[in-house]
Structure 1
Amino acid sequence: MKNNLLKLGFTLAVSAIPLSSFAAQKAILIGIDGVQYEKMQALDTPNFHRLTIKKTYTGGIAGDYSEQGTSSGPGWSTILTGVWANKHQVISNGSGHASEDFPSIFRRIITAKPNLTQASLVNWSPIHSQFFSNDVDDIAVAKKGLSDTSVTSSTIAEINNGRDFIFAHLDDPDHVGHSDGFSKKYNDSIITADGQLGQILDSVEAAQQDTGDDWLVIVTTDHGREGTTGYSHGAQTASEKTVFIATNKPLNKEFSSTAAGENQGFSGLYNYTAQTSITPTILTHLGIKIENKWKLDGPSLLGDIGVRKLTPGAQHTLSWVSDSSKEANIYRNNQFAGSVAANQQYWQDDTSGDSSGIIDYVVELNNNPTAYRAYSLDINAALNWNTTRAYFFRSDNQYIRYNKTDDKADDNYPRVTTNSNWPGLGDYREKIVASFHKDANTAYFFLNNGDYIAYDINSDKALSGYPKAVDANTWPGLEDYADNIIATLRGNGDDVYFFLDNARYIRYNLKNDHADEGYPQAVNDTTWPGLASHAENITSALRWSDSRAYIFLTGQRYIRYNVSQNRADSGYPATTNNSTWPGMMNP
């Protein structure tokens, strides 16, 4: 009897404790593929409007290193990692596994809180089978290839099973969009998805009432659609870049209000939140601290606000939006680089020119970090192989094969320059400073120690006996300038121009096999109109066609040169990026 009374007392005591005392932090991310924000807003979608909905953007920053296709592979990978494609490396729907250097939210949760259970329920299978197969293999429930109806019922079951994080992916609006464009069928597919969303929201609310658990709900889409017909997507247009985030919770100012940063492209679209903030927001809600070393590209939308609209500028500067007088700490490649008052909204990296390759910046304010990946790369040499293909050798010892017809780098580049892909050249990859195509059989590569290599185009290998010194026997008239060569450019006929590191150049005649008399001469507005002020910054040059050449400069810039009119085109230098030279600066 005494024991029964004790048990009764304990039961009464426990029942008197409010459910909130046992509340767990839980989150669900609902992705509805291919929903055009404006179309959804115009329809009768009562369940979407149970949430707070804000316009957001996808596709990275057009023309920047973060630019990515507005297609499902890059979009869902960004949503599930918190970084753009230049980090997660899913650049198309055909990409393989995402980079393990930037794990998915599933892996972040497994690592930080292995006791939390997860479920991922998707219609579109590549999310599991291609991009994040290693991660979803380690979670409690992972189902792919489901119908939207099955995704909905399975999601409700996992809510009731007490999962801590659920990702649910519905696909019908995108499927209908591809087949019927902006049509009644497309509108109906959104209305159907709204009903499925309502079923899930009902289950979340019921679970909250039953358990007192604190659920964060985020609903989003991966991309918009081509704005006229709605059939396609993938490009950098305002319609295709416009997406949304909807949530059941009040979030911070990065979500609730716009901020005008440096980039006002697409009529101010970048003033809104980016897709990259979804993963850090969910992790924050689950009690997982966002580490600076993770280099996530979006700030968390929960808690104290970090810097907003982090943007690169000229000469290795960073700018952002903030009205806080607190110190913002800047990290460069995981090392502390400095701090400034956040409301200064500006910082310059005085050391970024000391190295070549990837530069990862993180600006941290209020323990809410935001990252940006920059590149310190120069084009050291450029070589026309034939009429459709060119090669560009970069300062990170990698090269790009560039398709001149398609005007973009070929897939699966860059690659490290080795003796396997460039026989006889790989050992000297760190020394290459210039190259040009002599004829159909031979190309020349010049090295920074005054040597050169003759390369056989037909057999695709360096000729035996090379490197050789640039001297009075091999290149008469160049011998005194052998280690000053920084770029070469084929001129008309048998002329080749050798640019030197002191803003001078030499004209060499291949037929006479000798430098012309009266050289070197200064690169000035008489000899090279439009190039004079950049002569000391030249890194390489390439004859592109009969009428056009390109001169590459330090700081990832280039000049288009009109050979016919012997002058630089107006509007240059321009930035070497994914808009001007697609794929040239890929990591």
Structure 2
Amino acid sequence: MKKTAKLLTLALAALWVAACQSPEAKTPPVRKVLFAIVDGIPADVIERVNTPWIDSVAAQGGYTRAYTGGEKGSYSESPTISAVCYTHFVTGTWTNKHNVWDNGIAAINYHYPTFFWYLKQQYPEKKIGIFSTWEDNRTKLVGEGKSETGGIKMDVHVDGYELDTAAFPHDPASHYIHLIDERVSEEAAQAIRNDAPDLSWVYLQYTDDIGHQFGDSPQMDSAVVIADHQVGRLWQAVQYRKDNFNEDWLVYIVTDHGRDDKGYHHGGQTPRERGIWLATNDKNLNTYFHERKPASVDVLPTILRFLDVKAPREYQFEWDGIPLSGNVSHVFKTATLQGDSLSLAWEALNTEGNLTVWLATTNNHASGGTDVYTSLMEVPVAAGRAIIDISEYPSDFYKVVLESADHTANRWVIRESTR
């Protein structure tokens, strides 16, 4: 009996010592995100060219074709132009909201903020970083230091090299862009290893430049191989952090747009120009990712969910995307108006629970105001459709939101006579 008691005491003591020596065993890992855009690589190209580093990211989570450009032929149709497409990713909205129509970024609407803003609003102590071959991503799209963005400041930034023509003299072949991509990816990898911002955005440009010059070609294939090697630097840095620190990393490697049928141009609405792809290490991908065709706007709610950011409800009502991981209940398919009869249709991804249908007759959010939403009804998710009399809410414009316990989805409805 004494021997048993002694052994029990020793066992408890050993457990206590182990607990004291391994605090990380009881501490949840710190969540961090790396989001990287490699510009203008069509899905058929990334699938054909040997890209072992991007493949290794996807092997831990998944790869899927996706789309950009909004809903073709509707109010959300958006040009498949680079800066426009970056903004879809980082704001979770289409051009009808964020108002970036070309690479000039002349009148961006900061009332649809970036994922950096949401993170800093809830966790001001968290660190954000941008590593970009194009400085405008920080100064214009993120709006660093601008009053309209609350003076948001990046904790780490590496960019502006394209303006340093002494160190990177410009040449017609865009070799200087390749050199800048190399520098940016090297410094980003070093920053991840040493400082590990909580949310990092990396942007690499060379593949788009080569596509414009050579179209679908051996040169484009070679540029993709180079980009993959640069992604490898980032991925190895993430692996280093995971191996040596108590951190859990979500990584998304994406392209912003496709190209036309010959690979030279983009900007239009052809399937290849609208076609993009997503590669991620996310181990919690849902049915929507695996069995549907996601969109670029889905990345923001996915990242914020992973980082446990609870965005204000009125901002969530504006997001055009839904999460690619975790629970999702519905995809909002159509909202049409015939007289005062509002017809809604959605695809139920989870037949449990209800949806709340919200209606607003204003778009005050676009100018920094507040939209007053009316709860019209609750309906089972499994129903898949609803028809509602909205004669009590006369307007030429409506915003409709379907809200479940998991997420929101929205559509605009504009009376035909006012289009």
Change (3 A) 1:125 1:350: farther
Q: Which of 122, 126, 131 is matched with 1:121 structurally?
A: 131
Percent of aligned pairs with the same residue?
A: 25
Identify the residue that residue 30 of structure 2 maps to in structure 1: 24
Amino acid at match of 1:370: A
Superposition map of 1:148-547 within 5 A: 148-160=181-193, 161-227=195-261, 229-250=262-283, 251-258=285-292, 272-294=293-315, 295-315=318-338, 316-322=342-348, 323-333=350-360, 334-351=373-390, 354-376=393-415, 378-379=417-418
2:400 and 2:33 map into 1 onto residues whose CA distance is 29
Does the aligned pair in 2 maintain the 1:32–1:220 contact within 8 Å?
yes
2:38 and 2:332 map into 1 onto residues whose CA distance is 26
Specify the SS of the correspondent of 2:412: strand
Amino acid at match of 2:51: T
| TM-score of the two chains, using structure 2 as the length reference | 0.80
Identify the residue that residue 158 of structure 2 maps to in structure 1: 143
Identify the residue that residue 468 of structure 1 maps to in structure 2: none
Identify the residue that residue 548 of structure 1 maps to in structure 2: none
> How many Å apart are 1:148 and its aligned residue?
0.8
1:10 and 1:114 map into 2 onto residues whose CA distance is 35
Q: Over residues 57-90 of structure 1, what are the superposed CA-to-partner deviations in whole Å (9 max), with x where a residue is unaligned?
A: 0001110111000111210111000011111111
Amino acid at match of 2:210: V
Q: Over residues 94-114 of structure 1, what are the superposed CA-to-partner deviations in whole Å (9 max), with x where a residue is unaligned?
A: 232521221111111111221
Amino acid at match of 1:253: T
2:414 and 2:337 map into 1 onto residues whose CA distance is 12
Does the aligned pair in 2 maintain the 1:292–1:369 contact within 8 Å?
no
2:77 and 2:119 map into 1 onto residues whose CA distance is 27
Specify the SS of the correspondent of 2:105: coil
2:80 and 2:392 map into 1 onto residues whose CA distance is 32
Specify the SS of the correspondent of 1:354: coil
Q: Which of 27, 34, 38 is matched with 2:44 structurally?
A: 38
Specify the SS of the correspondent of 1:29: strand
> How many Å apart are 1:366 and its aligned residue?
2.8
Identify the residue that residue 535 of structure 1 maps to in structure 2: none
Amino acid at match of 2:324: L
The structure richer in strand per residue is 1
1:172 and 1:358 map into 2 onto residues whose CA distance is 42
Does the aligned pair in 2 maintain the 1:320–1:346 contact within 8 Å?
yes
> How many Å apart are 1:357 and its aligned residue?
4.9
1:35 and 1:63 map into 2 onto residues whose CA distance is 24
Amino acid at match of 1:207: R
Change (3 A) 1:153 1:332: same
1:16 and 1:110 map into 2 onto residues whose CA distance is 30
Gaps of 5+ in 1: 1-8, 259-271, 380-555, 557-587
Once superposed, what is the RMSD of the aligned Cα atoms? Answer: 2.2
> How many Å apart are 1:46 and its aligned residue?
0.8
1:116 and 1:293 map into 2 onto residues whose CA distance is 23
Q: Over residues 89-148 of structure 1, what are the superposed CA-to-partner deviations in whole Å (9 max), with x where a residue is unaligned?
A: 112222325212211111111112212110011112332233322358522123333411
Q: Over residues 128-185 of structure 1, what are the superposed CA-to-partner deviations in whole Å (9 max), with x where a residue is unaligned?
A: 2333223585221233334111221121122120210000001111011111111111
Q: Over residues 21-44 of structure 1, what are the superposed CA-to-partner deviations in whole Å (9 max), with x where a residue is unaligned?
A: 251111110111101111110011
1:285 and 1:211 map into 2 onto residues whose CA distance is 18
Does the aligned pair in 2 maintain the 1:306–1:369 contact within 8 Å?
no
Amino acid at match of 2:185: T
Gaps of 5+ in 2: 1-14, 162-179, 361-372
Amino acid at match of 1:32: V
Q: Which gives a bigger RCO, structure 1 or 2 (Cα 8 Å, sep 6+)?
A: 2
Does the aligned pair in 2 maintain the 1:299–1:369 contact within 8 Å?
yes
Does the aligned pair in 2 maintain the 1:299–1:306 contact within 8 Å?
no
2:384 and 2:84 map into 1 onto residues whose CA distance is 30
> How many Å apart are 1:348 and its aligned residue?
3.0
Specify the SS of the correspondent of 1:131: helix
Does the aligned pair in 1 maintain the 2:337–2:415 contact within 8 Å?
no
Change (3 A) 1:126 1:207: same
Specify the SS of the correspondent of 2:328: coil
1:203 and 1:57 map into 2 onto residues whose CA distance is 29
Does the aligned pair in 2 maintain the 1:304–1:366 contact within 8 Å?
no
The structure richer in helix per residue is 2
Identify the residue that residue 428 of structure 1 maps to in structure 2: none
Q: Over residues 353-394 of structure 1, what are the superposed CA-to-partner deviations in whole Å (9 max), with x where a residue is unaligned?
A: 834354222212232112223334734xxxxxxxxxxxxxxx
Change (3 A) 1:167 1:186: same
Specify the SS of the correspondent of 2:52: coil
Change (3 A) 1:348 1:156: same
1:26 and 1:359 map into 2 onto residues whose CA distance is 37
Q: Over residues 502-552 of structure 1, what are the superposed CA-to-partner deviations in whole Å (9 max), with x where a residue is unaligned?
A: xxxxxxxxxxxxxxxxxxxxxxxxxxxxxxxxxxxxxxxxxxxxxxxxxxx
Q: Kindly tell me the number of residue pairs found equivalent between the two proteins.
A: 358
Specify the SS of the correspondent of 1:189: helix
Change (3 A) 1:20 1:195: farther
Tell me if 1:88 matches 2:121: no
1:198 and 1:65 map into 2 onto residues whose CA distance is 39
Greater Cα shift, 200-209 or 301-310: 301-310
Does the aligned pair in 1 maintain the 2:286–2:325 contact within 8 Å?
yes
Does the aligned pair in 2 maintain the 1:77–1:98 contact within 8 Å?
no
Q: Which of 55, 61, 71 is matched with 1:61 structurally?
A: 71
Does the aligned pair in 1 maintain the 2:67–2:277 contact within 8 Å?
yes
Greater Cα shift, 134-143 or 342-351: 134-143
